[in-house]
Amino acid sequence: MSHFTKRTALRSSLMVSAGAAIGAATLPCGAQAASLHTLYQFSGASDGGAPAGNLVAGPHGSFYGVAETGGASGNGTVFRLDRPRQGSGQWTVTTLYSFAGGSDASAPNNLTMDAVGNLYGTSNAGGGSSVCSSNGTVLGCGTVFELSPAVGGGWTEQVLYAFQGSPDGQQPKGVSFDSAGNLYGFGFIGGTGVCHFEDEPFGCGTAFELSPVEGAPWSFSLIYTFKNDNDSDGPFGPPLIDSQGALYGETGGGGPGAPPACAPSTGCGEVFRLVPRRNGEWAKQALWTFDGLDGTAGSNALVADWAGNIYGMTNEGGPPNPLCPQDLNFGSSAGCGVAFELSPPANGTDAWTYHTIWDFTLGPDSGYPFNASITQADGRLFATSSGPYPLANSYGAIVEFLPPSAHAGWREKTLFTFSNDSLTEAQPESTLFWSGKRLYGTAAGYGTAGSFGTVFNVRP
């Protein structure tokens, strides 16, 4: 429940209702290492606004994505971005579906696609539950939805599940498929557990499964409820799923102890694993508990490489930085965010090994990465950071993490720094997608320039 995630949750509600690591170094950034190309600029009207989720690759070089706002009723859209036709030179956006709110979804956040081209996603609000409301306005607790191409053209949308806050949770932030075609995700808050922030109780979050049933609605199962502050709270993002069916994720707070660096939260969060048991129950294991100096507020998704190493980022934490101070009144921890690597146990031990990849500085690299995962592409690691920090004109960045060598530890190279202007349409809150030697992403555009966001690419 960090400074930045709290701001983002508040912002979404409002829209629905109307120093480097030790041994590391930054490469010289006197000149941008790559130029950004804006492929499409959203208007905030029928085409949507605030595209703050990941992109999914479609046929013929197209991409699918979601916009949190805009559309026919202002509740967000699902869109397709198509490459320029021969001679036109312009990318085009087609609105596939406009969410209606109410019992329908509202404020979508992330997408995934199955093998036959159906789209699946989650929303921060919608679903019709009166439990989740703000100032008397019913927002709904969020949904899982499906969008399928219809015979003869067009798309058909179906809400697969509408959250009720308790016991199932609320505000899912994405879903992932396992090898059997089941969907898994986390409810960011809600459930029957009780956690605390500034002594205020809230639901700690949940983990769930949705399974397809031939000729019937999908079957929802609650597989884990985060119990209390010690068990951690705020599981975030689409789960990482291994070959054995275990789920991996980060939490925003909680965990054993309450390090001062994370006050007023009751913990700094953790990286966890949920393992299915033969009796149908799931067991939670903490792989790493953050202490603030190595990160806190895990508001991003995890990825793994072929050797089983896990890569992730935290929204806050890291060494104290005067540009990213702790703010007890607002609930933010010190530090500008951290990128990290966790290596699996070796030599017969049960302990995972933590390595800091990068401590964001709020310099050219910006900081506060949010709703993103590290992208592995062409043997390289890329990511976005989100800002925002108006005093430093820092509204996010696109960065590359360079692995250790015989002469140096992890290093960071800033490929592009966003600023709050009508050209760059800051700020990115999504995972980058690699295609054709280019990185594709979205920028939500929440700046004073009045931008409604963009889709962009960068060739590193």
**What is the DSSP annotation of 332-356?**
B-SSB-EEEEEEPP-TT----EEEE
Judge whether residue 5 has pLDDT over 70: no
CA dist., res. 303 & res. 55, Å (int)? 16
- DSSP for 17-76 reads H--PPTT-EEPP-SS-SS-EEEEEE--SSTT-B---S--EE-GGG-EEEEESB-SSSSS-
Q: How far apart are CA 422 and CA 447, in angstroms?
A: 9
Does residue 15 have a pLDDT over 60?
no
Whether the link from the prior residue into 388 is cis, omega within 30° of 0, is yes
**pLDDT for residue 11 is more than 50:** no
Give the span between the Cα atoms of 460 and 443, in whole angstroms: 18
- Note the pLDDT of residue 237: 92
**pLDDT average, residue stretch 211-227:** 95
pTM of the model: 0.91
- β-pair type (63-67, 56-57): antiparallel
CB-CB contact of 169 with 120 (8 Å): no
pLDDT surpassing 50 at residue 22: no
CA-CA distance, 164 to 141, in Å (whole number)?
6
Residue whose structure tokens are 């019992």: 103
- The token pair that represents 159 in the structure block: 């809400």
For tokens 């975030």, what's the residue? 236
pLDDT in tens, 114-129: 999 999 999 999 999 9
Of 452, 450, 443, nearest to 49 by C-alpha is: 452
φ and ψ at 11, to 5 degrees?
Answer: -60, -45
CB burial of residue 194 (10 Å; 0-12, 13-18, 19+): middle
| Residue 114 contacts residue 120 (beta carbons within 8 Å) | yes
Cα separation, 253 vs 196, whole angstroms = 10
Residue in 337, 459, 433 with CA at minimum distance from that of residue 387: 337
Question: How many domains is the chain partitioned into structurally?
Answer: 1
> Each residue of 82-114: pLDDT tens digit?
999 876 788 999 999 999 999 999 999 999 999
According to the model, what pLDDT value does residue 348 have? 67
Mean pLDDT of the chain: 88
What's 48's domain CATH number? 2.120.10.30
User: What is the share, in percent, of the chain residues with pLDDT greater than 90?
Assistant: 69
pLDDT in tens, 301-346: 999 999 999 999 999 999 989 888 887 767 778 899 999 999 999 8
Mean pLDDT for 424-442 is 89
* Helix (H) / strand (E) containing 4: helix 3-17
Residue with tokens 């290093």: 411
Structure tokens of 96? 């596939």
CA atoms within 13 A on the CB side of 79: 36
Cβ 393 vs Cβ 421: under 8 Å: no
Note the pLDDT tens digit of each residue in 254-303: 998 778 888 777 899 999 999 999 888 999 999 999 999 999 999 999 99
- Note the Cα 149 to chain centre separation in Å: 26
Domain residues for the domain of 359 are 3-458
Cα distance between residue 68 and residue 73, in whole Å: 12
> For the chain, how long is the longest CA-to-CA vector?
61
Q: How confident is the model at residue 391 (pLDDT cuts 50, 70, 90)?
A: low
Give the DSSP H or E segment for 5: helix 3-17
Residue pointed to by tokens 């302990």: 351
CA dist 52 and 110 (Å) reads: 8
Would you say residue 408 has pLDDT above 90?
no
